[in-house]
Amino acid sequence: MKIRQNLHIHSHHSCDSACATLADIQKEMLHCGMTEFGLSDHLHTHYNLCDIQGARNDFLCAERPASFHFGIEVSSVSEWECSQIAAGNYERKGDDPVYGLRFADGPSGSKPCIGITKDEIEALGIEYVIGGVHWPLYSKPDRESATEDYFNQMMALVKNPLVTILAHPWDSLELAAGDWYHHRDTDHIDFDALLQIPQDLNDLLMNALLEYDKPAELNLAVMNSKRLPEACRKYYWNLFAQWREAGVKFTIGSDQHAAHAYEVLFSASELLLDCYGFHDTDIRYLFGDRS
């Protein structure tokens, strides 16, 4: 299977370590044969909406083909932290508030949300929204609690009418389950948490994707990550193959943060897509840019 879509690319406007320019993204995606590709810089909270505004200005000033689109990647955050940030009730310590109030003893069970409104999406000309879980929302750092937390966040994203694509399902669960976010070392990563996800949760998530007609993302960076044990990488590929058989559609994203595209990621992933039975018809092209 030839990969022709890459909707998950971060530019130097993204609030993290991403550093690619729009000119390089365009040149390299066309060279790789992409017929549908787009920006998806991070928006964690309203605090860093200015990053998206900067990316939009850059995008509008560039000469670009019709196959180059403007999207964003939003994080699941809590209503509590969004209200605290809106009121200015935060302290600059630890993680910058651009990532929300991650470790400020937030209320467990706080309702998930995203940090952008429909009006802002329309005003910024955002063509698609990738919604992802990037951290726990104040749940206990154990396998069962983290799994339930991530599941609830993903379900909220799938049901959110502003979210177009569910990003990298279950990514970083091993960090939440092992309490890595507080310790930031390899001794606090629970890789087995991925392998022990209850099947009924995956079935519920799959059914929600079908009910709300949302594609899940085949995130090439996650599914081919050398950071993950082979068993975890295989887990992802097998899970998404199961979802495909049930009728779930997918989008493809490289999740590029580097200055330049890693071309071998696409060629290696094409072999794996063939191995696990994926075809071009399993991919949802958002803009009809398939050729």
Flag whether pLDDT at 291 surpasses 90: no
What's the confidence (pLDDT) of residue 288? 85
Q: How confident is the model at residue 104 (pLDDT cuts 50, 70, 90)?
A: low
What's the confidence (pLDDT) of residue 37? 98
Q: Dump pLDDT digits (tens) for 80-92.
A: 999 988 888 876 5
What's the confidence (pLDDT) of residue 219? 98
What's the confidence (pLDDT) of residue 281? 97
* Mean of pLDDT values over 126-141: 95
Q: How many other C-beta atoms can be found within 10 angstroms of the C-beta atom of residue 97?
A: 21
Q: Dump pLDDT digits (tens) for 189-222.
A: 999 999 999 999 999 999 999 999 999 999 999 9
Position of tokens 């900067």?
A: 54
What's the confidence (pLDDT) of residue 98? 83
What's the confidence (pLDDT) of residue 15? 85
Q: Dump pLDDT digits (tens) for 105-118.
A: 788 878 999 999 99
Q: How confident is the model at residue 18 (pLDDT cuts 50, 70, 90)?
A: confident
DSSP result, 182-202: HH-SGGG--THHHHT--HHHH
Tokens for 54? 């900067």
Cβ–Cβ under 8 Å, residues 194 and 174: yes
Flag whether pLDDT at 290 surpasses 70: no
What's the confidence (pLDDT) of residue 234? 98
Q: Dump pLDDT digits (tens) for 245-258.
A: 999 999 999 999 99
Q: How many other C-beta atoms can be found within 10 angstroms of the C-beta atom of residue 201?
A: 17
> What is the C-alpha to C-alpha distance for residues 134 and 219, in angstroms, rounded to an integer?
14
Q: How confident is the model at residue 8 (pLDDT cuts 50, 70, 90)?
A: very high
Contacts of 131 (CB under 8 A, 6+ apart): 73, 74, 75, 76, 114, 157, 160, 163, 164, 165, 166, 167
- CB burial string 229-251: b at 16+ within 10 A, e below: eeebbebbbebbeebbeeebbbb
- For 53, the enclosing helix (H) or strand (E) is helix 49-61
Mean pLDDT (the chain, rounded): 94
Rounded to 5°, angle at Cα 104 from 51 and 48 = 5
Flag whether pLDDT at 94 surpasses 90: no
Q: Dump pLDDT digits (tens) for 153-162.
A: 999 999 999 9
Q: Dump pLDDT digits (tens) for 51-75.
A: 999 999 999 999 999 999 999 999 9
The CATH number assigned to the domain with range 5-282 reads 3.20.20.140
User: Three-class SS string for 198-252?
Assistant: CHHHHHHHHHHHHHCCCCEEEEHHHHCCCCCCHHHHHHHHHHHHHHHHHCCCEEE
What's the confidence (pLDDT) of residue 237? 98
Q: Which residues pair with 68 in a beta bridge?
A: 37
What's the confidence (pLDDT) of residue 96? 67
Task: Give this prediction's pTM.
Answer: 0.96
DSSP result, 73-113: EEEPEEHHHHHHHHTT----SSS-GGG-STTS-PPTTPPEE
